[in-house]
Structure 1
Amino acid sequence: MGVSAAPSLGRGRARSAHAHSIERERIVIPRQERGERPRSDVDIELREVKKGLRAGDRYLRVVPREQRFTRRAPGYFEATRLGSRPRGRLERLLAAVKGWFLGAPFASSQLVHERLSKVKALAIFSSDALSSSAYATEEILIILLLAGSGALHDALPIAALIALLLLIVTASYLQTIKAYPSGGGAYIVAHDNLGRPAGLVAGAALLVDYILTVSVSVAAGVAAVTSAVPDLHDVRVPIGVMMIALITVGNLRGIREAGTLFAIPTYFFILSMTTVIVVGLAKVLLGDAPGSLLHGAPPERTVVATQGLGLFLLMRAFSSGSAALTGIEAISNGVPVFKKPEVRNARITMATMAGALAFLFLGITFLSSRFGLVPGGDETIVSKLGKVTLGSGIFYYGYQVATALVLVLAANTSFNGFPPLAAILSRDRFLPRQFSFRGDRLAYSHGILILATAAAVLLAIFEGDVNRLIPLYALGVFVSFTLSQSGMVRHWLRLKEAGWRTGLAISGLGAVATAIVAVVIGLTKFTTGAWISILMMLALIAVFAMIRRHYDWFARQIQVDESELPLPVPSAVPLVSTGGRDAPSYIPPRDHVIVPVDGINKIALGAIAMARELSRKVSAVHLTDDREAAETFREQWSLAVPDIPVHIVESPYRAFVAPMLEYLELLERTEPQRITIVLPSFVPRHWWERLLHNRDVLRLRPFLKQRPQIRVVDFPYRLQD
């Protein structure tokens, strides 16, 4: 609050010894009664005439309103946080609730501060891959058990093959990170090198895999809880949905804060699992385990074979255990969120993640065979391993808590992969534009909410059963692996950059290996659930095509022929003679017409034409959160519509209604003319088209109706079929 003092309005000669006790006179002058409108963009909240400490002294106290706009340049305004606050009662209530759960909004300029260090990035991006070590071994054993408990000794060779595959895929993705530092992963690589269809298949496969990752990870985490507390088995679905909700809130708070929240559980899991493996290895070496270093232990219970141990069964076990590789591509999708140097930090983080995953996965599989563990019942293999190494005391429960936490938080990898990928697909016009908008905390809120909803629905449909969800899993990720590595093969052959032969060999080997695994998964899991994943991918590809077809059609409908630009400037405004020898003067316009514009298209230019019919004083206003893009737009506008000035309103908090209302109110206070606003919009042909467009302009209407001094004119643009 600022205070300015005017010169004394009068001074009495008599002074009283009790002047300090004299009651002050307070005269408040309402703004609407202050005479002419102020000519400043600083509004006056309060003026009052007050008596001074001495008899007869008076002074004028002026309190300016808190600033809602800053003027960056002529015709360029930036809304402050106060100027971006919601205006409606319901909107303010929702904002208060969001603020309580998520925290205060971030300005777009704070995005650079949301980048991750290697320590936090490892926790965020590797939780999915590392957590898969907690159930990948069990999935191998479950399949081998069909051939009887004697077949369980084949788990270790299968795990070794999967670890070799992990090494190949990691080496290939290290090349991808270097070649595509802007992120996007398999979708960008396949789209750029193999064409749009391959890119869409990769994108659909990844999105499906991210959804399944959340469902499987949360279900596995709940299974770890119910292994320790069996009484909770019947409420595993509500527990899982609640866990998804908590992860969703954590990610809506922003990626850096999510990294802080999730780092401790991830490293706690690594420490706990490493402790179990080290203690287990010590027992094996000291002879305290049923098995030895070179020979496995007899199974803890005998299971009769229901089918023979053939190649097909071994392939099924291999495909189930390949779930250990899910999530390792996440770092290549999120390179831009690393602190500088992004590529180097991302490659170090990925190599660290792969090494940790190989150690945990092979360690659990090795110890399972040396202690003769057999899957079955309501207790997981990692729970049994914890008991035989740590006992059933407090250390075991701490280990189970760590396992449950990391399994649940493994879903966080998807929450950092799905939204950015959906945003890229949105910018390429394959998903609704809203997916590319950042929320209050700079997270892609729409993608986060859609992912959480889809995962919760799947979790409920499959009743939180990990074994029923696993067959749907992994196919999508290996399809994306194959397309990504095939795209890199094409990349090396096309550009032949330095070291291209080495890169070609690594990518080629990765493409062949992952293609084989994808085929194996498709063949062995098709009837048990992989067909659902394939159906989901095909449905997504169809949605991509439909949305892109609509956006292409819409762009053609509103595109302006460059031959029609620049728009012709209307003839000079009529003059009126004041009579006699006085020079003629312009007729003062009665209205100042404002037209919100989002681009140079037929809708915007049609609204400008209507505005010209209403008044000779017309201005366009363009609201944005991207300063560079706004400057580019201003230059393009000045060339296309040279006689209509465009004002830029930068909204760093990505709000639309509140800054636009503040801008109109600013004009209302400072302009002598009446303010008229033309609201351009298009008339959709089908109801679903409304979902594909951000129609913020229409959200202004209810608020403008509350201001009768501002005239509102609609400009509906009907698109042609």
Structure 2
Amino acid sequence: MQPFRRLILGRRLASDETQHTKVSNFVGLSVFSSDALSSVAYATQEIMASLSSNLHGVAGVSLAAAAAALYGMSIPVALGIAGLLVILGIGYRQTVMAYPGGGGAYIVAKENLGELAAQTAGAALLTDYILTVAASVSSGVAAITSALPSLGEHNVLITILAICFIAVLNLRGVKESGAFFAVPTYGFVFLIMVMLATGVVRAVLMGGPTPVMVHDSVRHATHLGSFAMVWIFMRAFSAGCTALTGVEAISNGVTAFREPAARNAAKTMVWMIALLGVMFLGITFLASKLGVVYMHSADASQVAETLLSKLSKAIYGDVTHGLPKLMYYLTQGFTFAVLVVAANTAYADFPRLAALHATDGFLPKQLTSQGDRLVFSNGILILTFVSCLLVWVCHANTDLLLPLYALGVFIGFTVSQTGMVMHWVNRKATEPNWLFKAILNGIGATAAGIVMIDIGVTKFVHGAWIIVVLVPTLVIIFFRIHRHYIRIRSLLASSRTEEVYPRKNRVVVLVSRIHRGTLEAIRYAKAIADRGQVEALTIDFPDAHGHPSAEWERLNADWHRYCEGIPLRVVMSEFRKTVEPILAEVDRMAKAEPEITITVILPEFVTDNWWGHLLHNQTALRLKAYLYTRPKVVVISIPYHLDPHVI
């Protein structure tokens, strides 16, 4: 088992090798920015789908023509989102410089706004990271099924396998996964830039394809009132804000960069903002110029052809042969790769954030332990399981996953930027430019808050209500866990002052039959207590006439030869139960002599193979689980290792 583990995960890393896991700016961009950069594959698509849905039911025209009537609005929507991107980028760059030890929303909120704000931001981001994995990888598989429709019926299986592949790479460590992920990230950026350049040449300089013609009745139908147009714009804007998911990832992972970590992380963030803005605006402009539209599939179990696939075909022309075919399939292939890689952003941040929660006592402490490769293995495994479950429930359909996607991250944006405002206010005595910096973060907080409300309102019935319910629920669970840890610590601390009195010890050896393990248990019992305080106990199932069983008769007949003076007592179980009569007997003894400690000894034999454990000792496991809850009861297992040739 260990050689296979080392083959998959690599050699173990010592704690003093942490520095060797740091990443360069080049690798860091692929590790922490792949989520944000890959979002251009579906952000414009969501804008178009939102605009298309506003004209369903227009009589006498096709849905494509109806969508074309409003697709011109996608340009101002995209410009607004790009402006918000710049605002958030500036705000988070300040966060990176102010918190070189990692300044995600959780840390910023905890230091400046208190625990409630910190747990709210943490719950929103943890939820968003799970959705990042499910939605991003599902979008990547949709890119493949758009190019190869025959794979469409296997999209759920392909998505789950891809998630498991990313999980294994992350179990190997951030540096190793980042180096591997650099190829699809930079390959995707290069191919998108080539596609955009080609599209601009065709659409602007050469005239390009003829846009979709709009029916007159549709033009008339688009003359809507001002409130309706504002509502349509808000819906499209909230849908397109999926382009901004992942912007905060670098601020969470500052410590993963090489020194000077903060400066390198800030430089990487600037490159991420620039690349994301250019690709997002370029795709939206060309989709609008060339009349490429997208509509959600009517069947939730079916995945429609992606907008990026349609745009590639519109730009490259006939993709059935030659260079256009090569460029189309390369674009779709790298889109699949980068969207799968984008899940790595969540894998980089989810375990770290969960470990921060656990360190503060708001999640189980097991999430703080690092595995052989200096990664938070438990967090990675939990993220994998939950995201795979979500993919299976939603049929790997991005139309179902993406509406849930942006609300959580904008909660984090709002809390983080608000916390940064308080950060500068609290340091106004030592920071010369505190007011200017506070205003910048204040603008970011205001913008993110407005968008958060926009998403919550316009996407509420499309799935955002789940996040609205889930985040407060998680916060309540976090605080209940925290109170539990506080209570346990206080009880353990107060127990130090309790006087410890010597107690009598009564030892009970549980016996089912006589074997070597039973004899060793008896000898151990005699070693830890006086002979008068040791007895053996067995459970017997009487027959239909109430007489003892043949097994009891044999055990009783042989007992005097092996008992070494220890009395054997039998408890008849007329309902053929084993655990319950033992528990009842232990409770009776504790009630009769409350001043004693009862030690229950369980002889257990150990098999030489893993599957043998599934066939034996299950009653002992149940019994120990119940006895551990009894006060003043000690449970001791006496293992007896069987000769391998016996079984």
TM-score, normalising length from structure 1? 0.64
Amino acid at match of 2:177: A
The superposition leaves residues 124-149 of structure 1 with CA deviations (integer Å, 9 ceiling, x where unpaired) of: 11110011111100100111112332
> For residues 440-519 of structure 1, what are the structure 2 equivalents within 5 Å?
440-496=372-428, 497-519=431-453
Aligned residues of 1:126 and 1:413 also touching (Cα < 8 A): yes
The superposition leaves residues 21-52 of structure 1 with CA deviations (integer Å, 9 ceiling, x where unpaired) of: xxxxxxxxxxxxxxxxxxxxxxxxxxxxxxxx
Equivalent residue, structure 2, for 1:555: 489
CA apart distance, 1:100: 2.3
Q: Distance in 1 between matches of 2:239 and 2:233?
A: 10
Aligned pair partner of 1:539 in 473, 477, 480 = 473
Aligned pair partner of 1:320 in 239, 260, 268 = 239
CA apart distance, 1:685: 5.6
Q: Distance in 2 between matches of 1:127 and 1:518?
A: 23
Aligned residues of 1:290 and 1:370 also touching (Cα < 8 A): no
Aligned residues of 2:69 and 2:214 also touching (Cα < 8 A): no
Aligned residues of 1:248 and 1:449 also touching (Cα < 8 A): yes
Structure 1 runs of 4+ with >3 Å offset: 297-309, 560-565, 681-686, 701-707
What SS is found at the alignment partner of 1:310?
helix
Going from structure 1 to structure 2, the CA distance change for 1:384 and 1:104 (only over 3 Å counts) comes to same
Going from structure 1 to structure 2, the CA distance change for 1:360 and 1:181 (only over 3 Å counts) comes to same
Aligned residues of 1:300 and 1:372 also touching (Cα < 8 A): no
Amino acid at match of 1:126: S
Aligned residues of 1:184 and 1:424 also touching (Cα < 8 A): no
CA apart distance, 1:282: 1.3
Aligned residues of 2:294 and 2:306 also touching (Cα < 8 A): yes
Going from structure 1 to structure 2, the CA distance change for 1:222 and 1:554 (only over 3 Å counts) comes to same
Equivalent residue, structure 2, for 1:113: 20
Matched, 1:156 2:90: no
Aligned residues of 1:323 and 1:474 also touching (Cα < 8 A): yes
Q: Distance in 1 between matches of 2:444 and 2:4?
A: 48
Equivalent residue, structure 1, for 2:341: 409
CA apart distance, 1:381: 1.2
Equivalent residue, structure 2, for 1:386: 312
CA apart distance, 1:684: 6.9
Amino acid at match of 2:27: K
Q: Distance in 1 between matches of 2:179 and 2:269?
A: 19
The superposition leaves residues 543-601 of structure 1 with CA deviations (integer Å, 9 ceiling, x where unpaired) of: 21121111101111111689999x9xxxxxxxxxxxxxxxxxxxxxxxxxxxxxxxxxx
Q: Distance in 1 between matches of 2:96 and 2:276?
A: 19
Equivalent residue, structure 2, for 1:265: 184
Aligned residues of 2:36 and 2:276 also touching (Cα < 8 A): yes
Amino acid at match of 2:44: T
Equivalent residue, structure 1, for 2:331: 399
Going from structure 1 to structure 2, the CA distance change for 1:303 and 1:266 (only over 3 Å counts) comes to farther
Q: Distance in 1 between matches of 2:496 and 2:266?
A: 46
Equivalent residue, structure 2, for 1:20: none
Q: Distance in 2 between matches of 1:554 and 1:491?
A: 33
Going from structure 1 to structure 2, the CA distance change for 1:299 and 1:428 (only over 3 Å counts) comes to farther
What SS is found at the alignment partner of 2:374?
coil
Aligned residues of 1:299 and 1:373 also touching (Cα < 8 A): no
The superposition leaves residues 425-456 of structure 1 with CA deviations (integer Å, 9 ceiling, x where unpaired) of: 11001111111100111110000111111111
Q: Distance in 1 between matches of 2:360 and 2:144?
A: 42
Aligned residues of 1:142 and 1:375 also touching (Cα < 8 A): yes
The superposition leaves residues 234-268 of structure 1 with CA deviations (integer Å, 9 ceiling, x where unpaired) of: 11111110110000001001110001111100000
Q: Distance in 2 between matches of 1:328 and 1:365?
A: 19
The superposition leaves residues 474-496 of structure 1 with CA deviations (integer Å, 9 ceiling, x where unpaired) of: 00000010000100111111111
Aligned pair partner of 2:35 in 115, 128, 131 = 128
TM-score, normalising length from structure 2? 0.71
CA apart distance, 1:390: 2.6
Amino acid at match of 1:115: K
The superposition leaves residues 152-203 of structure 1 with CA deviations (integer Å, 9 ceiling, x where unpaired) of: 1000110000000000001000111111111150011111111110100000
Q: Distance in 2 between matches of 1:564 and 1:345?
A: 54
Equivalent residue, structure 2, for 1:587: none
CA apart distance, 1:220: 0.5
Aligned residues of 1:478 and 1:518 also touching (Cα < 8 A): yes
The superposition leaves residues 615-664 of structure 1 with CA deviations (integer Å, 9 ceiling, x where unpaired) of: xxxxxxxxxxxxxxxxxxxxxxxxxxxxxxxxxxxxxxxxxxxxxxxxxx
Q: Distance in 1 between matches of 2:626 and 2:341?
A: 43
Amino acid at match of 1:134: A
What SS is found at the alignment partner of 1:214?
helix
Amino acid at match of 2:188: F
What SS is found at the alignment partner of 2:33?
helix
Equivalent residue, structure 1, for 2:95: 176
CA apart distance, 1:302: 10
Q: Distance in 2 between matches of 1:203 and 1:379?
A: 35
The root-mean-square deviation of aligned C-alpha atoms, in Å, is 2.6
> For residues 607-646 of structure 1, what are the structure 2 equivalents within 5 Å?
none
Equivalent residue, structure 1, for 2:62: none
CA apart distance, 1:536: 2.1
- How many percent identity over aligned positions? 43
Q: Distance in 2 between matches of 1:303 and 1:190?
A: 52
What SS is found at the alignment partner of 2:191?
helix
Q: Distance in 2 between matches of 1:288 and 1:412?
A: 40
What SS is found at the alignment partner of 2:458?
helix
Matched, 1:428 2:360: yes
CA apart distance, 1:112: 1.1
Amino acid at match of 1:539: T
> Unmatched 5+ residue regions in structure 2?
56-65, 298-303, 320-324, 501-624, 643-647
Going from structure 1 to structure 2, the CA distance change for 1:177 and 1:533 (only over 3 Å counts) comes to same
CA apart distance, 1:288: 3.6
CA apart distance, 1:298: 3.8
Aligned residues of 2:22 and 2:258 also touching (Cα < 8 A): yes
Equivalent residue, structure 1, for 2:264: 345
Equivalent residue, structure 2, for 1:140: 47
Aligned residues of 1:300 and 1:374 also touching (Cα < 8 A): no
What SS is found at the alignment partner of 2:70?
helix
CA apart distance, 1:301: 9.4
Aligned residues of 2:363 and 2:482 also touching (Cα < 8 A): yes
Amino acid at match of 1:205: A
Q: Distance in 2 between matches of 1:358 and 1:449?
A: 33
Equivalent residue, structure 2, for 1:197: 116
> For residues 266-281 of structure 1, what are the structure 2 equivalents within 5 Å?
266-281=185-200
Going from structure 1 to structure 2, the CA distance change for 1:703 and 1:118 (only over 3 Å counts) comes to farther
What SS is found at the alignment partner of 2:101?
coil
Going from structure 1 to structure 2, the CA distance change for 1:703 and 1:255 (only over 3 Å counts) comes to farther
> Unmatched 5+ residue regions in structure 1?
1-92, 292-296, 568-680, 687-697, 708-721
What SS is found at the alignment partner of 2:69?
helix
> For residues 520-531 of structure 1, what are the structure 2 equivalents within 5 Å?
520-531=454-465
Going from structure 1 to structure 2, the CA distance change for 1:140 and 1:340 (only over 3 Å counts) comes to same
